[in-house]
Structure 1
Amino acid sequence: MSFHLKREKPKTKVNNMDITSDFESHKVFTLEKASRISAMMDHIGHQLVSSKDDSGKLENIENEQNSCNIKSPPKTNSSPKHMIFTSNGIQFSFKKILLESEKQRKEEVRKKMESRINHMRENGRVIQEQMANSRSLMASERVRRNEEKLADILAEIERIAEEEEIKRRHEQQLQAQRAQEQKEKLEREVEEYRKRMKEKEELTKLVMVHRSQFIAKYCDIVALTKACENKHALDVILTANSARIKELIQQIEVLDEKIKSGELISTDVNVIENLVHHIDDILTTFRTEIEEMDAQYEAELARAQAASEIQPVVESENIPTGNTMPSQHPGESSAVENNESKNQSVNQEAIAVTVNTQVTPSASAPKPEETVADSGKEGNLFEYIDKESLQIYFKSKHFLNLYQKTCKDFLQSTATKKFRFECQKAINIPVNAISGVSEQHLRDKYDRLHNLLIGKSSPNVTQHSQGVIFCKDHLAKKIVSQGETLVSSKPEMAFPVAMIVVALWNEHVDFGELFLARLHEACPFTIPMFLPQQEGQSDEDYYKSLGCKYSEDGTVEKQDKFLKRMSGLMRLYASITVTRQRKGVTKAHPYGLQHAWRWLAAVLNIEARTDICNLCATLILDMLEVAGNMLWTAYPTQFHKLLTLLLEQYYPHMRKVADGGGGPLMRLEEFLNNALASSTIPPADGMLPPNFL
């Protein structure tokens, strides 16, 4: 850095004051410049502050360039380097001035630092003294607080001890009071117990009197059953009343358990009185029905003896021929005189026969087994009806007649009209919704129907004595109606309906009997029962006995509709025989696969007729499609023989009788050929897996 100062001419006289003022002004000017330069020389300032010994080094600054790396101007001969001239002509060294200023600054810094250090030491000493005083005060405060806490604890302990003593005295008083109350309560309970025991003893004596009456009437019923000679009629009566008797006995067993455990209550007297009343009604019904059945049995026996001399007229010219059903010829009349419309009475003892699951027809067309009265004549009733099937047919009719007689007043009473409507609605809704969409859905429908039949849902069917049997019969008719409508149009729907039937049949045996009776009534071919037209029987009665329906204008239904409806009922019947028990049920199947075998065997032992060939072929095909797979699994050898016999012998005979046959016979032939060629029958469409419900 260079300074350009204006030089004045030297004066001759120098005033000391002027020199001093000039020196001071130059000094101030130099210090200002030095302060600006010092900002550019920080490292030099730090070295000067760090140690006093650096002063020697600073002395050599005159011979060094300054740290700003400013190049010195070129040397001139005008003035010496780093020299400052005053107005009086006095010159000073710039570096010496800087050195002196730096020394003064260092000295001031040192003094300030010493003053600051001394001040800090004094503050530290004061702080130490204050901390010592604070620690002393805190120790004293802790001692004081501890003494206060100890005093508080001792006071609290003393207070708690006093409270415990007061509490102990109070507890002693309460215990003494409770002991007194317990003693008084015990005395009252002993007195009440003696009173209750006396009442129960009297109640038990009263219940036992009524129970003895119940047992006596039950023994009378047993005696009547043993004395009854018409065992078939007895079976019908027992079937109609067995569920009711079983329910009464279960209620008696419940009362017996209450007697053993001493839990009888006053309302149990009303219960046992009602039970006695019900068993008395059943006893009266048994007596009346057995007397009527015995009288009817004797009358049937007399008619059977008389009928042994009369040949039923079933000539081929009186039966519609060709491939049409009887329903297509409603105008034809019988060729014999008008006799009783129910000229089908047969000696029941003469037609008892056991089911032979291994039966096979002979090589030729089946022959009639025997006549009604062993007359030995051709064309008798058993040529077209299996004897066991005839027994089942009469049993179903008697069962329905007995039901209608038992529930006659209930069905005709206006007081029960609303109740009957509610019961029908409670049955129709779940039955219409039966589907195999899921296990939960099907179980819900079963639970709703089962709970209704046992009186655990609304309406309570047990509020009327005939309420339960009415619901079971309506349920049976509704399910048969599902077979006629739903299953006939959607054959796969037979299996969920059949599963509900089997599940309910397990729990309600009388429902199963009612269902079979209603099914046989709607489709007698499920027995199988291919009734011929009897002497004196009108065409309408004959067609109705086959299951045909008449419209309001008196027109019989057409053949295709009739075949479709019978097919739906047969598929429902066959589905029941192959439906497995619901999971968790270990009892025997109520109507198992052996009944499908019996049906096929019975059909093959019946003579084919012209008017029923198409119907028979349709029903055989339905049975084989539904139950064939399981029949082949259960009876592999015998079932193969049965199919071979059906194809090689029975089918040609049917085709010959039907004069060539139609579509049903052709479909049956194709099915039999495929089954024997592949040695298997596939499972039916829609069959539900095991344990589905």
Structure 2
Amino acid sequence: MSLYSKKEKSRTKVNDMDIISDFENLKVSTLEKASRISAMMDHITIGPQSVANKDDSNKLENIENEQNSCNIKIPQKTNSSFTHSTISTSNGIYFSSKKILLESEKQRKEEVRKKMDCRINHMKENGRVIQEKMANSRSLMARERERRNEEKLADILAEIERIAEQEEIKRRHEQQLQAQRAQEQKEKLEREVEEYRKRMKEKEELTKIVMVHRGHFTAKYCDIVTLSKNCKDKYAIDMILTANSARIKQLIQQIEPLDEKIKSGELISMDVNVIESLVHHIDDILTTFRTEIEKIDAQYEAELARKAQAASEIQPIVESENIPVGNVVSSQHPGESYAVENNDSKAQNSSVITNQEAVAVLVNAPVTPSASVPKSEETAADSECKEGNLFKYVDKESLQIYIKNQQFLNLYKKTCKDFLQSTATKKFRFECQKAINIPVNAISGVSEQHLRDKYDRLHNLLIGKSSPNVTQHPQGVIFCKDHMAKKIVSQGETLVSSKPEMAFPVAMIVVALWNEHEDFGELFLARLHEACPFTIPIFLPQQESQSNEDYYKSLGCKYSEDGTVEKQDKFLKRMSGLMRLYASITVTRQRKGVTKVHPYGLQHAWRWLAAVFNIEPRADICDLCATLILDMLEVAGNVLWTAYPTQFHKLLILLSEQYYPRMRNVADGGGPLMRLEEFLRNALATGTIHPADGMLPPNFL
């Protein structure tokens, strides 16, 4: 109960006690007045028989007033017979005390009720006023609370805004610092790249200049050899060679370090002066040789003429038989011009790779220069036999591609050797590999948007617009391109080999990236040829000195940890996946909006088939060859027939009537050959090849 309620209750009790006390006093006063009046009244005062007695009434009033003022009690005259029930007056009028009491009680109750009603109304009014005041007070307090809450909220919002402004300023400052650092790093990298390019350009120009002079040196040296071979007086030329051999040998010794520098790319500007000096010296020797040989030849001709004239006078002229130039070296005495020819072999080592050198690379034999010491007839015949046997199974153009592919990969490995072995770049390399593996593994043709997202992620990574920034290291971009190439080739071995239709979305990503990054395309092609040399195509035979493991690895076979080679069916499946990926690239169209020439178009599929048909079938790879031909025809056959309708039809007839029977003659006719035969029969019978499963529509990406 509240304090207010307690006060109101106590106040109500006090008022009730006052009312009861007042009523008791009123009751006593009334009875006293009635008793006094009844003693003085002797006539009727009420009703029609009453006698007005003004004096008596005045007297009674005066007496009453006096009694009231003096508080004198007037004794009541009572009749003993009516003591308890009636009150008599002096006039003989009797009043019933009970009635008087009842009337008094009734009046008292009425007065009490009125007062109580008045009090209740007053209390209600007071309660209403109090409620109104309390309501007003609560309203004021609520408004005050709201005002204070609004002020607090405003203060909080202001503080939050101030903190946000500070954070924004801090963030902008950090962004500016980061942008500044990135810009500085970019400028630094650009300077380093520019310096690197400048150095490489200088080295390239320096190498070109040195190579030009080196060629001049070789040409002049060859001229000396030719002059020495064509000299008619061998005895005289031996004397000249003996006089100049030490000088020539010294020049050869001085040029050998330059050859090493050319191979390693460590030429300096002083080497130009050195090679120019050597060329000048060799030119002097050549001039001396030419002058002396002209004199010797003139003297020799004069001596022959003199001897002929003398012989004609004694006996009939015997004409000497002319000796061909090609046999001059073999007809010389042992040891003649040995120094010149031995040094000539060293000079020829820096020349361009010939077919003979290419053969030597494949059979793991040392290279024999064409101008070296003459070989015996048996050695030359053996070399020609090996070369002819090799080119029976290897297309010459494909062989050149194979050698170029090996050189390209060796150059890349040499360039990135420090980067790949450095522990400082280990984390960076891991982040780059992760950024490549995730989108490459997710490549699929479910939708254009999905495929475009994978292309954008890979392209942005290569141009340095995503995390990690591959341009922060000079070898970062080329490393990412090579890893991307190896990863996509791995997709051909695993994904495409199990799901052939997946070759087309992978091929579309390759073509799109190839358009923007030409060196990526070269790396991809090199990695593909490394994993599957048959995509060149090149089918290397096993050499006499070559182990089975080396031979199988050259074919692309994989070895397990225990040293066992993979099974034939698994090998064929992997090669089939890579071949389908290769063929899909040749038939995949450019993406929307690209007007460039296709980086590796349909003509390469035609070249592959033509190169295969120019190679003699072998029993050990006949199943593989049949499998790959079938893969190429299934993937690219429809497009080839559309592009070259007449020529491709002739090619199929050639395959069916000539090349396939040769394959069947050297093999037992296994499953791959049977499938190829059935495919050719259906294609020639229907005059068409169905498009490959999974081929994407034009402008899909």
1:298 to 349, 352, 359: 349
How many Å apart are 1:220 and its aligned residue?
A: 5.4
2:664 corresponds to which residue? 655
Describe the SS at the equivalent of 2:474.
Answer: coil
Structure 1: distance between partners of 2:362 and 2:672? 35
Q: Does 1:407 align with 2:429?
A: no
1:675 to 676, 680, 683: 683
1:504 corresponds to which residue? 513
> What amino acid is aligned across from residue 498 of structure 1 in structure 2?
A
Matches within 5 A, 1:57-456: 218=201, 221-222=204-205, 224-225=207-208, 228=211, 288-289=264-265, 298=349, 342-343=364-365, 375=384, 380-456=389-465
2:673 to 653, 658, 665: 665
Kindly provide the CA deviation profile for residues 556-582 of structure 1, in whole angstroms up to 9, marking residues without a partner as x.
000000000000000000000000011
* Ranges in structure 1 where 5+ consecutive residues have no aligned partner: 1-206, 231-283, 311-338, 349-370
Structure 2: distance between partners of 1:489 and 1:428? 19
Structure 2: distance between partners of 1:492 and 1:297? 51
| Preserved contact between residue 512 and residue 591 of structure 2 (Cα < 8 Å) | yes
Describe the SS at the equivalent of 2:620.
Answer: helix
> What amino acid is aligned across from residue 605 of structure 1 in structure 2?
N
> What amino acid is aligned across from residue 669 of structure 1 in structure 2?
E
1:541 corresponds to which residue? 550
2:576 to 567, 570, 583: 567
Residues 503 and 290 of structure 1: CA distance in aligned 2, closer, same or farther (over 3 Å): farther
Matches within 5 A, 1:37-52: none
| Preserved contact between residue 398 and residue 537 of structure 2 (Cα < 8 Å) | yes
1:692 corresponds to which residue? 700
* Ranges in structure 2 where 5+ consecutive residues have no aligned partner: 1-189, 214-259, 268-344, 371-379
Residues 629 and 290 of structure 1: CA distance in aligned 2, closer, same or farther (over 3 Å): farther
1:579 to 585, 588, 598: 588
Residues 437 and 375 of structure 1: CA distance in aligned 2, closer, same or farther (over 3 Å): same
Residues 663 and 604 of structure 1: CA distance in aligned 2, closer, same or farther (over 3 Å): same
Structure 2: distance between partners of 1:373 and 1:446? 53
| Preserved contact between residue 610 and residue 657 of structure 1 (Cα < 8 Å) | yes
| Preserved contact between residue 497 and residue 576 of structure 2 (Cα < 8 Å) | yes
> What amino acid is aligned across from residue 298 of structure 1 in structure 2?
N
How many Å apart are 1:395 and its aligned residue?
A: 0.6
Structure 2: distance between partners of 1:296 and 1:454? 44
Describe the SS at the equivalent of 2:599.
Answer: coil
Q: Does 1:525 align with 2:534?
A: yes
Describe the SS at the equivalent of 2:621.
Answer: helix
| Preserved contact between residue 304 and residue 346 of structure 1 (Cα < 8 Å) | no
1:241 corresponds to which residue? none
Structure 2: distance between partners of 1:549 and 1:225? 41
RMSD: 3.6
Structure 2: distance between partners of 1:297 and 1:423? 44
1:480 corresponds to which residue? 489
Structure 2: distance between partners of 1:678 and 1:346? 54
1:644 corresponds to which residue? 653
> What amino acid is aligned across from residue 387 of structure 1 in structure 2?
K
1:554 to 563, 573, 590: 563
Kindly provide the CA deviation profile for residues 645-664 of structure 1, in whole angstroms up to 9, marking residues without a partner as x.
100110011001103x1000
Structure 2: distance between partners of 1:405 and 1:214? 17
2:622 corresponds to which residue? 613
> What amino acid is aligned across from residue 566 of structure 2 in structure 1?
E
Kindly provide the CA deviation profile for residues 409-446 of structure 1, in whole angstroms up to 9, marking residues without a partner as x.
10000010000000000000000000000000000000
Structure 2: distance between partners of 1:285 and 1:584? 47
Describe the SS at the equivalent of 2:438.
Answer: helix
> What amino acid is aligned across from residue 288 of structure 1 in structure 2?
S
Alignment length (residue pairs):
380
Structure 2: distance between partners of 1:657 and 1:689? 41
How many Å apart are 1:380 and its aligned residue?
A: 1.5
2:83 corresponds to which residue? none
2:255 corresponds to which residue? none
Residues 560 and 297 of structure 1: CA distance in aligned 2, closer, same or farther (over 3 Å): farther
Structure 1: distance between partners of 2:539 and 2:413? 25
| Preserved contact between residue 462 and residue 477 of structure 2 (Cα < 8 Å) | yes
Describe the SS at the equivalent of 1:611.
Answer: coil
1:462 corresponds to which residue? 471
Structure 2: distance between partners of 1:346 and 1:583? 52
Residues 303 and 639 of structure 1: CA distance in aligned 2, closer, same or farther (over 3 Å): closer
Structure 2: distance between partners of 1:453 and 1:431? 14
Structure 2: distance between partners of 1:609 and 1:419? 47
| Preserved contact between residue 372 and residue 380 of structure 1 (Cα < 8 Å) | no
How many Å apart are 1:684 and its aligned residue?
A: 0.3
Kindly provide the CA deviation profile for residues 29-56 of structure 1, in whole angstroms up to 9, marking residues without a partner as x.
xxxxxxxxxxxxxxxxxxxxxxxxxxxx
Residues 408 and 444 of structure 1: CA distance in aligned 2, closer, same or farther (over 3 Å): same
| Preserved contact between residue 347 and residue 372 of structure 1 (Cα < 8 Å) | no
> What amino acid is aligned across from residue 342 of structure 1 in structure 2?
N
| Preserved contact between residue 485 and residue 520 of structure 2 (Cα < 8 Å) | yes
Residues 692 and 211 of structure 1: CA distance in aligned 2, closer, same or farther (over 3 Å): closer
Q: Does 1:594 align with 2:592?
A: no
Structure 1: distance between partners of 2:209 and 2:577? 41
Larger relative contact order, structure 1 or 2 (CA cutoff 8 Å, min sep 6) = 1
How many Å apart are 1:224 and its aligned residue?
A: 3.0
| Preserved contact between residue 641 and residue 648 of structure 2 (Cα < 8 Å) | yes
| Preserved contact between residue 576 and residue 592 of structure 1 (Cα < 8 Å) | yes
State the identity as a percent.
77
| Preserved contact between residue 480 and residue 518 of structure 1 (Cα < 8 Å) | yes
Structure 2: distance between partners of 1:584 and 1:426? 27
